[in-house]
Every structure is written in structure tokens, then in C-alpha cells.
Amino acid sequence: MSSNRAPNGLEAAFLANRERLLRFLRARGAGDAAEDLLHEVWLKISTAAVGPVAAPVAYLYRTADLLMIDRYRSERQARRRDKDWSEAAATVPGVSDAPSGERVLIARDHARLVAEALDALGPRPAAIFRRHRIDGVQQRQVAEEFGVSLSTVESDLRRAYRAVLEVRERIDEA
């Protein structure tokens, strides 16, 4: 007999698709950290209690993709804090590590600017963006709820994404 625990579906999919996932992480910009990040994907699926997954390969890619996004956002956050720190340090040396007043204003404006930018697209794209990105409803179901085709949902989302990214850029340039 063997008491080895058989790998579950997700782990088996990982082992069978290791190279593909590695290639994806490299393409995603992981560089030298690709192996480490792949290992992190493995740890996430092998140590966390993940229930049965309908599409294990897609799930693995998504996990890897989200790791990269987390990494990007963390690095960006750190860069912003460094920038805030150096700005604060330049004006009041060694006194405050609080964000500069300007940045507080900008952050406060973000929510309002996002709302304005979305609403400017018209009621449906704004509502579809919120339903999908904020309520977390799948695109197919959003399409059913709004009585439109999936491609209309995608097209509304593209417009909404473009609008909120323009807000983001305006803030970053300020």
C-alpha cells in the first residue's frame, strides 16, 4: 500500500502545467522572481483549503495573475510613500512622514472623480461597471440582468475602464 496522499485536481493541474505557468509569469514581467512566484502559487493552492475548482488551469493562471497585480500595487504604494516622504522631508526635514497636503486632497477627490467619470458615460456603463467590479457579479450574469449581450457588457466595461484610468492618470500627473 502507499499512504502517499494523491495530489488533488488543482495540485495535479499545477504539476502538469508548471512550465506554462512559469512562462506566463515571465511574460507577466516577473523576471528572476518567476520561480519564487510560481512557488507561491503552489503554496497558495497546496496549503489553503481550496474547494473543488471547475476549471483548475484557469484558476492557477488567475492566482498567478493576481499575485503579479498584488506585487505591482505593493511596489507602487511603496514608491508613492517614498515620494511622499521625500516631499515631506524636503519641506520639513525629519518631522513628518504624513502624506503631503496636496496628496490628501488628491486622494479625497479620487472617489468623486471616479463617480463623475463613470456617470459621464451614461447610466448603463456606469451601472455595469459597479455591478461587475464592485458587486463582483460575473459578466454573463450582468448581461442577463441588463438584458444586453455579453459583448455589450464587455464594450461598456472597456469604456468604463478607460474613463477610470484617465482619472488615475490625471491624479498621478497632478
Q: Which residues bind other proteins (CB under 8 A)?
A: 1-5, 20, 23-24, 27-29, 35-36, 38-40, 42-43, 46-47, 55, 57-58, 61-62, 65, 68-74, 76-78, 107-112, 114-115, 118-119, 126-127, 129-130, 132-134, 138-140, 154, 157-158, 161-162, 164-165, 167-169
All three cell numbers of 62, joined, read 488567475
Nearer to other proteins, 83 or 133 (CB): 133
Nearer to other proteins, 70 or 92 (CB): 70
Closest CA to 123 of 89, 160, 98: 160
Rounded CA gap, 167 and 169, in Å? 5
Looking up cell 516622504 gives 85
CB of 150 to other proteins, least distance (A): 9
Nearer to other proteins, 84 or 93 (CB): 84
CB of 161 to other proteins, least distance (A): 5
CA distances from 158 to 118, 125, 155, 167 (A): 12, 9, 5, 14
All three cell numbers of 79, joined, read 514608491
Nearer to other proteins, 4 or 93 (CB): 4
CB of 92 to other proteins, least distance (A): 21
DSSP for 56-96, please give it. HHHHHHHHHHHHHHHHHHHHHHHHHHHHHHHHHHHHSTTT-
